[in-house]
Amino acid sequence: MNQPSTAQKPFLATGSILDGKWVLIAHIGNGAMGEVYRAHQLNLERDVAIKVISPAMLHDFESGPFESATALQRFKREVQTMAQVRHPNILQIFDYGSAAAAGGSFEYIAMEYIPGNTFRFTMSEQGFGDEKKLLLEWLQRYFMRVLDGVEAIHAHGVVHRDLKPENILMDGHTPKIADFGLARSIKMRGLSNSWDVKGTWAYMAPEQFEDFRKAGPEADIYSLGKILFEAVCGKLDPKVVPFKMTCLKDAETTLLKRLDAIIRKATEEDKGRRYQTVPELRSALLSAIKDHLLPAVIRPVSGALLRRTWIGILVAILAVSGMSFYHLLEWLGEGRETDVSRPSGAAPGKMPDLTKGPPAPLWMAADGQRMVLHPASGERPAYYSDPSLVTIHHFNEFLNEVREELSVEDGVVKNGEKIWLYIGTDKEPYEQIGYEHERFHIREVQRAHDPVVRVTWFGASAYARHFDKELPDYDQWREIGAPEPGLREWISHAPEGAGPLGEEPSTGLSHIADPASQAMLSGLKKPIRRYPWEGFADVGFRTVVNLN
């Protein structure tokens, strides 16, 4: 399979205007059968990705005139294929056209510009192995969403045929399947009788090697099995023989044994013995996850009784199981949202309408956090609180949403003169948020769901305000308790008019709750008072929503 020349200059010059509406900002690189540019759409004032292809550049991708002609047809088919599917986990196409430049005529696609990393960034180079919490989090937050996208593709009669982590882009924490250059639709006839093998061998199903044109949905399932294997064991060794069944060598835990069976079936060499549809693969994964998380004491309960006591059981699990419950909610609904997570039918982030009934025990806030209800008590109104401290992942996403308002200098993130976060120099394990190429990123993705620390009171308060939330007051902090041993939390609020620097301790202080003695409520200490611009390696924060 021929590869593009790395020495060739970009086909289009940076700064040129394409078709009167796209300003080319930068050459991103070479994609499948073409070049990709970052561009700015003048009429709608948004950044897009432009993929271009011309007969001249096809000489770098194909072996002869006939293959060049069919490659151009594949490019057009990529447009048709992507235009068929509208799904949150599929890269969206905006426009298609043709134009001329000094190098000759060419055709282009305008599509979503995703400035983040690829799906590879969500996975550990060494694999999650028996790190149960990280593996389950990755399955729920990322892999299930990829399955949703692939299922949508297949529902339109399209087979991707080149699924791999590098062809899945990350829009924040949302995976988007891209690069449909090798996609095949049952509605379209084949373009070439060439035996030339196209795709990435490590993820390619055996039948795709034998007859590329006839590779069906089972070929994509084989690729998904390989990606799942990588999540557990680490990046595939280039020396591993392709087109073979994959299995886990050291599957000692119950969860890994279940995943091993799933990976084996997904990567069967005989496509007839694989999962035949994405829902089959998803169902197997959900079954493994449910059996692993659901406590044994609940499993024997009859279906009728379980339905009658559903809310009570879930709240009990939350109190006992912490984050395990967080995942269980989504998996019990086969990856979809359930009514129990939304109070009185409210959409995520929208305040519940208490006139339509009492608030639900759980509520999804605008930042994607599921919050826990604390019912009204005496004169204190009801409120929701985060079940655990805000994570590195959530704070990193927040910073990227407001990055145009921020400055970063010498490892310090500021909004105006107010310090929000100390990102440091990547020398300490808690310094997990970095800044590069005008975006914030997480340095070690396996730590993405650790509590974020070194956030100042200003930064914690800004996060809360951005999502229409607040920091807990002292009484709420006493009632909530703290889930993270050895960590303290920002609470309450700084005095009005407190500036970023130089105040006296009596006027410019914020509160930090010390949960070291939380085991006995009667022994809880009062908060320690600190300056609102200080950030500490042992201080995180959580948020609340008051239902006044």
pLDDT band of residue 547 (cuts 50, 70, 90) is confident
pLDDT above 90 for 274 = yes
User: In one letter, which amino acid is 328?
Assistant: L
- pLDDT tens digits for 466-519? 999 999 988 888 888 655 667 888 987 544 444 433 333 333 345 565 443 333
Handedness of CA 237, 239, 243, 246 (dihedral sign): negative
What is the secondary structure of 314-332 as a DSSP string? Answer: HHHHHHHHTHHHHHHHHHH
Region of poorest pLDDT, from 91-100, 128-137, 482-491 = 482-491
pLDDT score, position 506: 32
**Hey, what's the torsion of the CAs at 319, 174, 263, 284, to 10 degrees?**
50
Region of poorest pLDDT, from 146-155, 242-251, 290-299 = 290-299
pLDDT score, position 431: 86
Most confident of the ranges 5-9, 326-330, 333-337, 398-402: 398-402
Which residue from 462, 473, 480 is spatially nearest to 518, judged by alpha carbons?
480
pLDDT band of residue 183 (cuts 50, 70, 90) is low
pLDDT score, position 273: 95
pLDDT score, position 320: 39
Q: Which residues pair with 118 in a beta bridge?
A: 169
Average pLDDT score over residue span 274-289: 92
| CA 235 from centroid of its chain's CA atoms | 19
pLDDT score, position 213: 64
pLDDT score, position 48: 93
Residue-wise burial string across 346-357, b where 16 or more C-beta atoms lie within 10 A, e elsewhere:
beebbbbeeeee
- Please enumerate in sequence order all residues whose Cβ is within 8 A of that of 540, keeping only pairs 6 or more positions apart, or say none: 389, 390, 451, 452, 453, 455, 484, 487, 488, 489, 490
N residues, the chain: 548
Give pairs for 88-91: CB < 8 Å, separation 24+: 88/148, 88/174, 88/176, 89/145, 89/146, 89/148, 89/149, 89/152, 89/174, 89/175, 89/176, 89/177, 90/149, 90/152, 90/153, 90/176, 90/177, 91/169, 91/176, 91/177, 91/178
In contact, 256 and 232? CB cutoff 8 Å? yes
Q: Is 96 or 59 the better-scoring residue by pLDDT?
A: 96
pLDDT above 80 for 151 = yes
- pLDDT tens digits for 208-246? 877 656 678 999 999 999 999 999 999 887 766 677 899
Rounded CA separation 194/454 (Å): 58
Which residue from 339, 285, 289 is spatially nearest to 310, judged by alpha carbons?
339
Q: What count of other Cβ atoms lies within 10 Å of the Cβ of residue 461?
A: 24
Distances (CA, A) of 44 to 14, 41, 211, 225, 415: 20, 6, 44, 40, 28
Most confident of the ranges 138-142, 301-305, 490-494: 138-142
pLDDT score, position 1: 40
pLDDT above 60 for 295 = no
pLDDT above 50 for 102 = yes
pLDDT band of residue 148 (cuts 50, 70, 90) is very high
Q: Is 180 or 140 the better-scoring residue by pLDDT?
A: 140
User: In one letter, which amino acid is 88?
Assistant: P
SS3 of 416-481: the string is CCEEEEECCCCCCCCCCEEEECCEEEECCHHHCCCECCCECHHHHHHHHHHCCCECCCHHHHHHHC
pLDDT band of residue 4 (cuts 50, 70, 90) is very low
